[in-house]
Amino acid sequence: MSEQRKGLMTGAVPDGYRAGFAILVGRPNAGKSTLTNAMVGQKVAITSNKPQTTRHTIRGILHRDDAQLVLVDTPGLHRPRTLLGQRLNDLVAATLSEVDAIGFCLPANEAVGPGDRFIAQQLALLGRKPVIAVVTKADLVSREALAEQLLAVAALGREVLGDDGFRDIVPVSAKDGFQVATLEDVLISHMPSSPPLYPDGELTDEPEAVMVAELIREAALEGVRDELPHSLAVVVEEILPREGRSEDNPLLDVRVHLFVERPSQKAIIIGKGGSRLKEVGTRARKGIEALLGTKVYLDLHVKVAKDWQRDPKQLGRLGF
């Protein structure tokens, strides 16, 4: 992940700023999604101005004055087949080895079982990676039962990870917010010193907008990646159902801005007589239609926004 830390957001960064990646793991139904949403809201960044990575889906970003916590997810990670199979597959292992901290979720209202032990054993293979045990759904049990569960989880930690056990054990309830802020603090405390990894700003309720932006970005960079390394931001302005279409034949209007830094880059994206942009649109549209399961009308606009990566005001205007 060191690649990703390189100068994405340079400039004045407060002393002691921390930024990094965390992931929540745990057996199915442990409360990972609900907890992620409680930490970052059900919103995810709409833009796809992100460090190159194919392994993670970003579930959300927690922005603080002194820290940024990027919660990631791995496609397939939570499928029991993957997690409870013979071993974690390479993808999952690679992701886990790249995050800065792992929150291992165990529900308060279910006894620690073989599934949890299996996951703990896999986490132990990662060596020194900070693993924080998160006892979820605390609202469902009495204080006594919660205390007993904390002891059981601590015992599992010592059994599997050795004498020190889990780095921290934090009971939470995503439902009533109990200790969610504490968990955030604990995760952030395990993040390395680093400038922010992502711009602060606009979030959307539509996770699919992120994927739409990503598909367009991929299509737009195809073949010209070297010429436009970090200079392309894709902003999905809106995704609206076209009025007057019948229910069984809907059409979505997807309006998108592509921002580049220089007129020369705009020319590259657009191509001779708009030929390249047309190809980009066609390619991206196919992916978007497959993703959303409906026909799509894709409206792409290329704009020049000078030095947008370095100018917070500009980022704000662009909706970052």
Q: Are strands 168-171 and 18-25 parallel, antiparallel or unpaired?
A: unpaired
What is the nearest approach in angstroms of ligand GTP to the Cβ of residue 83? Answer: 9
Judge whether 80 is annotated as a binding position.
Answer: no
Nearer to ligand GTP, 170 or 254 (CB): 170
Judged by beta carbon, residue 33 or residue 314, the one nearer ligand GTP is 33
Tell the smallest beta-carbon distance from residue 176 to ligand GTP (Å).
Answer: 7
Q: Shortest gap between Cβ of 85 and ligand GTP (angstroms)?
A: 15
**Residue 305 is labelled as binding a ligand:** no
Whether 294 has a binding-site annotation, put simply, is no
Strands 295-304 and 251-260, sheet pairing: parallel
Q: Which residues lie closer than 8 Å to 180 by C-beta, 6 or more apart?
A: 35, 38, 39, 172, 173, 174
Any known ligand binding at 155?
A: no
Residues with Cβ within 8 Å of residue 22, at least 6 apart in sequence: 69, 70, 71, 72, 99, 100, 101, 102, 103, 187, 190, 191
Flag whether 249 is marked binding: no
State the nearest-atom distance from the C-beta of 137 to ligand GTP, in Å.
4
The nearer residue to ligand GTP, 139 or 237, going by C-beta atoms, is 139
Q: Which CB atom, from 108 or from 256, has the smaller least distance to ligand GTP?
A: 108
- How do beta strands 44-45 and 203-204 pair? antiparallel
| Binding residues vs ligand GTP (CB under 6 A) | 26, 28-34, 78, 136-137, 139-140, 173-175
Residue 292, strand partner residues: none
Is 31 annotated as a binding-site member?
A: yes
Q: How far apart are CA 68 and CA 36, in angstroms?
A: 15
Shortest approach of ligand GTP to residue 9 CB, angstroms?
A: 30
Q: Is 33 annotated as a binding residue?
A: yes
In this complex, which beta carbon is closest to ligand GTP, that of residue 92 or of residue 235?
92
d(CA 216, CA 220): 6
Query: Is 73 labelled a binding residue?
Result: yes
Looking at beta carbons only, is 136 or 231 nearer to ligand GTP?
A: 136
How far apart are CB 89 and ligand GTP at their closest, in Å? Answer: 16
Annotated binding site for GTP: 26-33, 73-77, 136-139
